[in-house]
Every structure is written in C-alpha cells, then in structure tokens.
C-alpha cells in the first residue's frame, strides 16, 4: 500500500484517489486488477489448514475474501477513518448482515425516525421472527425514554429516505453509549465526504454503495465500516454464512467511483441547494424537504454535522398522486427511476415505488404523502435542471 503519511492531514479528494491504493505487484498497474477467480491455491496441505484456521493470512475462496474486494474495503475504511470495512453484495445485504450478526433472540433494536423501506421491512417484519423486538422512536427526544435493559442496538438514517429528516449523530452516540447499545448509522445519503459518523462517536456506518459510492448507476454493492470488534463478526456472517459477498467486478467499479466521489457530491449538493430554493417558491409545491433550507427542522443540526447539504430532496406537490404523475411524466432531463446518487438526475414517487411495501399508515406517519416526489440531483448544469422542473410543473 502507498505510504500516505497521516491520513488526518490529507484532504478527502486526495484520500478518495489514493487511500488504500497500491500498484499491482506483478504488472505495476495503478488501478487494482480484477481478480476473476473463485478459488486460490494455498500451496500445500499444512498451509491450507493454517489459512482455514485463521493462523496464516491469505486468500482461499472469493466468498470469504478477494483482492479486488479487499482494495475497495481498504479505500472505504480510509474514507470513513475506520479500522476495517466489509463489502457486501448490496446495501440491504450489508444492513441484514449487520443486524443478524450483532443481534440475537431476546434483544431489542430501537430504530429512530424515518428509514428506507427495505430497512424498515427487515426490522419490523423479519427480525421479530427470530425473537428480536423492534422499538420505534420518532426522534432523539423519544429515544431517551425508549431504552430498556434488552436494548442492544440503535439504528438511524440521516438524512433519512425520503423526507430528509436529520438526526443528531453525536447525541445518538452519547445516548447509545450510556445505555450500552451499539449505534448504527446508514450514511448512504451523506457519504463520507459530507459526514463521518464515526467521528461523532457512532460505532458502525453502513452504505448502499450502489448509490453515491458507485455514482454511475452501473454497480450494486454495500459496505459496513467500523472497529474490528464489529466488522469481524459481520464479515463471518455476511460472507461465510449468508454468502452475500461482493463480486470483484462490482468492487472494481465501486473503487473507480470513489475516485470522483468528492467532485460528484459537491457538484450535486451545490445544484440541489439552488434547485430546492427555486422549488420552495413554486405555487404548485406544498413543501420542499431539503436540509439546506432554513425552514427545514433539521437545518441547524445538518449545518453542524454535514459539510454540504447533499444532492437529495423531496417535494410534496399539491394535488396528490395526479399531480405527482403529471410532474414525473413531463420531466425530460430527469429520469423516472428509483435509486439515487448517480451522475444522472433521477426522480421517483416513493408511495408507489421505494416505500410501496410499507403500510399506508406508517407512510403517512413518516411524512410520505401521495404527492411526495423524491429527487436525486445529478451533475448536469443547474440551470438546465431548473428549466426541466419548471416546464414539468406547468399545469400541476
């Protein structure tokens, strides 16, 4: 690995390009080669036994570890300033492996505020089958009275999907630590460029790497970062038992995406701020959910824990589903699609797509109305995007 000196003295753009990177030992290739193999030779009988017992380092089988995947994990650990990282086949694979690796029957998990629909489904519907009790806390204030002796984990997402709710990470970390619970944060929307939760005292950080980390809409993956005491059991479950390993081909794409992460996130964040300000003044729009607006209830906290306010927003259109359909179907530059964090701007209707499996009651409690549209701002020219939104809102 390159000797970069003290990581704390290097900027994020430098770390995104060089962190964890090493020239290939055989060819000298700067970009990490794709190691397309399922198995690795370990030489002889005794060496094989030592590797499988953990006495000797080395690769054995790509479900356990692969050099291309390792390179991606090392880059992510550097960017989040963590001891270790483990990559998984998707964001949901990373979330599921974390929950099942660190929770057991009889434990409670408190989930705070709004969560991605897939995460909500695992916590509310799947964990109870295994004797793990989900407890909901609407906000940090409610969390204070939600702890019990059985609380093992606190799970939050900030900014939250899709209404951009902001959670005070330092307070989450403090309360969890006092209660003896593990704090877990989904940092997908913020990315390590905007927020580093571990610096706020959080134990574990998750990402759907499919989103901003890839940045090009061409790779699916997930990653978990933190201290080895948490990452090692997650690796064992995710890779060796659940089998949710990341493909080396996907790992290469994700590592490539990381090199431009700061540039892309900064561009989309700067555009999103201007677009949110424009949309907040439009008569067809009831509410704009964007933490960079002073009217957002989480503005003050977001300003403290985020470098910029991100590239995602949601707009609540007057007129419900008919208004949302009209708006989305008239967009030309912005593509109707789920996912986010791409170079392309994307928009979707959460109530009928990403959160359609969540009950209507819970959706409404979370602020996901029939008129809500989530928008992921890409790297196109800001003025062109505003013009697209302007024409799409005509007649709403």
Residue pair 228/204 in contact by the 8 Å Cβ criterion: no
Q: Does residue 44 form part of some domain?
A: yes
Among the ranges given (54-58, 125-129, 318-322), the one the predictor scored with the smallest mean pLDDT: 54-58
What average pLDDT does the segment 104-114 reach?
96
Residue 370 known to be catalytic: no
Which one of 51, 75, 168, 186 is the catalytic residue? 186
pLDDT tens-digit map of 323-334 = 999 999 999 999
Question: What's the confidence (pLDDT) of residue 239?
Answer: 82
What average pLDDT does the segment 212-235 reach?
97
Residue 384 known to be catalytic: no
Q: Structural domain tally of the chain?
A: 2
Question: What's the confidence (pLDDT) of residue 356?
Answer: 84
Residue 63 known to be catalytic: yes
Q: Does residue 86 form part of some domain?
A: yes
Instruction: Kindly tell me if the per-residue pLDDT of 273 is higher than 80.
Output: yes
Q: Does residue 1 form part of some domain?
A: no
Long-range residue pairs from 124-131, CB within 8 A, at least 24 positions apart, any chain: 127/99, 127/103, 130/100, 130/105, 131/104, 131/105, 131/106
Q: Does residue 194 form part of some domain?
A: yes
pLDDT > 90: percent of the chain: 84
Same domain for 167 and 60, yes or no, is yes
Same domain for 225 and 335, yes or no, is no
d(CA 89, CA 259): 20
Q: Domain end: 218, 243, 259, which one?
A: 259
d(CA 381, CA 396): 24
Query: 232: which 2 tokens?
Result: 């090692």
When the pLDDT of each residue in the chain is averaged and rounded to a whole number, the result is 94
Question: What's the confidence (pLDDT) of residue 354?
Answer: 83
Q: How much is the pTM?
A: 0.93
Q: Does residue 240 form part of some domain?
A: yes
Question: What's the confidence (pLDDT) of residue 2?
Answer: 45
Instruction: Kindly tell me if the per-residue pLDDT of 32 is higher than 90.
Output: no
Q: Does residue 81 form part of some domain?
A: yes
Which one of 13, 63, 124, 330 is the catalytic residue? 63
pLDDT-derived band at 7 (thresholds 50, 70, 90) equals: low
Domain with 150, as residue range(s), is 7-259
What CATH number is attached to the domain comprising 109? 3.40.640.10
Instruction: Kindly tell me if the per-residue pLDDT of 1 is higher than 50.
Output: no
Question: What's the confidence (pLDDT) of residue 8?
Answer: 62
Same domain for 128 and 276, yes or no, is no
Question: What's the confidence (pLDDT) of residue 290?
Answer: 98
Q: Does residue 211 form part of some domain?
A: yes
What CATH number is attached to the domain comprising 313? 3.90.1150.10
What average pLDDT does the segment 242-264 reach?
96
Same domain for 24 and 78, yes or no, is yes
Which one of 211, 264, 363, 374 is the catalytic residue? 211
Same domain for 315 and 331, yes or no, is yes
Q: Domain end: 259, 278, 310, which one?
A: 259
What average pLDDT does the segment 280-299 reach?
97
Question: What's the confidence (pLDDT) of residue 6?
Answer: 54
pLDDT tens-digit map of 135-193 = 999 999 999 999 999 999 999 999 998 899 999 999 999 999 999 999 999 999 999 99
- Residue with the bigger pLDDT between 134 and 2: it is 134
Same domain for 216 and 301, yes or no, is no
Same domain for 248 and 277, yes or no, is no
Q: Domain end: 217, 233, 259, which one?
A: 259
Q: Does residue 2 form part of some domain?
A: no
Same domain for 236 and 334, yes or no, is no
What average pLDDT does the segment 78-93 reach?
97
Nearest C-alpha neighbor of 1 from the set 89, 87, 56, 73: 73
Same domain for 158 and 176, yes or no, is yes
Instruction: Kindly tell me if the per-residue pLDDT of 4 is higher than 80.
Output: no
Instruction: Kindly tell me if the per-residue pLDDT of 27 is higher than 80.
Output: no
Backbone angles phi, psi at 10, to 5 degrees: -105, 145
What average pLDDT does the segment 51-75 reach?
93
Same domain for 389 and 247, yes or no, is no
Same domain for 230 and 136, yes or no, is yes
Which one of 116, 193, 212, 290 is the catalytic residue? 116
Same domain for 198 and 293, yes or no, is no
């Amino acid at each position: 690995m390159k000797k970069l000196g003290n990581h704390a003295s290097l900027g994020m753009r430098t770390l995104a390009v060089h962190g964890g990177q090493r020239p290939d030992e055989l060819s000298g290739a700067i970009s990490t080669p794709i190691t397309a193999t399922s198995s690795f030779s370990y030489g002889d009988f005794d060496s094989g036994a030592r590797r499988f017992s953990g006495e000797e380092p080395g690769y054995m089988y790509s479900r356990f570890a692969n050099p291309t995947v390792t390179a991606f994990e090392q880059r992510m650990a550097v960017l989040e300033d963590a001891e270790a990282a483990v990559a998984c086949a998707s964001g949901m694979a990373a979330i599921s492996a974390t929950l099942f690796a660190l929770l057991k029957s009889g434990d409670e998990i408190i989930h705070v505020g709004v969560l991605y629909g897939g995460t909500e489904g695992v916590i509310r519907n799947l964990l109870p089958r295994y004797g793990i009790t989900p407890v909901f806390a609407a906000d940090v204030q409610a969390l204070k009275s939600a702890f019990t002796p059985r609380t093992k984990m606190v799970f939050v997402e900030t900014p939250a999907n899709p209404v951009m709710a902001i959670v005070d990470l330092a307070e989450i970390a403090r309360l969890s630590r006092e209660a003896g619970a593990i704090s877990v944060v989904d940092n997908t929307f913020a990315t390590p460029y905007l927020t580093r939760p571990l610096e706020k005292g959080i134990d574990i950080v998750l990402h759907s790497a499919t989103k901003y980390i890839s940045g090009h809409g061409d790779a699916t993956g997930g990653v978990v970062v933190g201290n080895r005491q948490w990452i090692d059991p997650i690796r064992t479950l995710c890779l060796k038992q659940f089998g949710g390993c990341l493909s080396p081909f996907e790992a290469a794409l994700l590592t490539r995406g990381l090199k431009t992460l700061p540039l892309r996130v900064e561009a989309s964040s700067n555009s999103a701020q201007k677009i949110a300000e424009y949309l907040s003044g439009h008569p067809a729009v009831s509410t704009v959910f964007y933490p960079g607006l002073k009217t957002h209830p989480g503005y003050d906290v977001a300003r403290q824990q985020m470098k910029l306010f991100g590239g995602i927003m949601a707009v609540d259109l007057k007129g419900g589903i008919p208004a949302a359909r009209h708006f989305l179907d008239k967009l030309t530059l912005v593509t109707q699609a789920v996912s986010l964090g791409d170079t392309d701007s994307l928009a979707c209707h959460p109530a009928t797509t990403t959160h359609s499996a969540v009950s209507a009651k819970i959706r409404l409690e979370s602020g996901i109305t029939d008129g809500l549209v989530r928008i992921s701002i890409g790297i196109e020219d800001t003025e062109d995007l505003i013009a697209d939104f302007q024409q799409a809102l005509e007649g709403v």
